Amino acid sequence: MTKYLIIALMFIISCSGNNSEKNTNETREDSNLKKRESIHQQEWEKYGKQNTTGESDKKSFKIKVNNVINITGENLGEFNTPKFTSDGKNIVFTNSNFSELWLFNLEKNNLTKLVSFPKCGYKFQISEDGKDIYFRTRETKRKKAGGDYSIYKIKIENNKLEKIYSSGNYLSTPVLIDKYLYLLKENKPICIDISKKKETKIFPQPYFFVQNNKLMRKYNSVQTIYGEEKFIDCDYSNDKKYIFALTSNNGIIIFDLEGKIINQFKEAVSITKLANSSLVLFTQEQDQGQRIISSKLFMGFLNTSKISKVSFEKSELVFNPDWSSTDNKIVYTNNNGMVKVLSFNIE
């Protein structure tokens, strides 16, 4: 009897050890999975994923601002459109007249001017891996009226500059999707293969643009997507899955890549979506003639009406907000053109 009891106990202990090891591995996998998700993504799972009905939209959530730090001083001038790189380590931004590109390294607390070219900072593009910046500029060396237009790539690691494409005709600012650049050349949509540095006839992804106040799309052919609004401009979401189209007097309409309307923020003037999430960040402005007297920051969700105001202790205007995909941080510029980083929690 004792012999069988000992064998039974050994079997139970063995099974327990295997289960314990299995549970440890599962816990480690769950932990690794959470590490791969941004904090925002976890917040979205908690507060936003289930909030897709009208009833849940009535439930409020609160954004608690922890601190705000300045990363540019007033003596450097005014800056515009700051953006986080995908790894959250760097912030890229331009000056007030879009003629420079600057880089702030959050880990080293180091500010560097990368390059100076006419209009190089207007709608610059950061690669998905966060290592390269693409921009359009106008060459001024030649005597030809208006000069030639070129698209460059600059590597963040070593400031290496490389010309990707050049034309004697007008080029719009490019949109970077995977390994291709999409833009207008003399008002006609073109696609540039970055590796080959030349145009390709096939558009791997649909290209959205605004022309004659209409939202257009080029894929297999050029077509008008929505003609009931007067559009001013459009931008892609950071993950290139949605289109944010700014109207003249009806805020921002969000479209998917099929051209279907997802949502509309009727008072928004700028908007950005967190990658791999439904969280959006947008601003609402009030102007008095030529002067903006109010610019407030709001957080919400891609396909619901659930929003919450981000309140500051110190009242200031907020422009050009952008998310960090790795930390609970938002970068923006204020009314003095200073670049600031806000840390927050969602409650």
**pLDDT tens series, the chain, 347 aa:** 444 444 444 444 344 444 444 343 334 334 333 344 455 555 555 555 544 434 444 456 678 889 999 999 878 899 999 999 999 999 999 999 999 999 999 999 999 999 999 999 999 999 999 999 999 998 766 555 556 999 999 999 999 999 999 999 999 999 999 999 999 999 999 999 999 999 999 999 999 999 999 999 999 899 999 988 999 999 999 999 999 999 999 999 999 999 999 999 999 999 999 888 889 999 998 887 778 888 899 999 998 888 888 887 667 899 999 999 899 999 999 989 999 999 988 77
Residue listed under structure tokens 């897709």: 52
Distances (CA, A) of 132 to 6, 152, 158, 176, 219: 65, 10, 10, 11, 26
The reported pLDDT for the residue numbered 59 is: 52
Count of CB atoms within 10 A of residue 146's CB?
Answer: 12
Asked if 345 and 338 touch (Cβ cutoff 8 Å), the reply is: no
The reported pLDDT for the residue numbered 147 is: 64
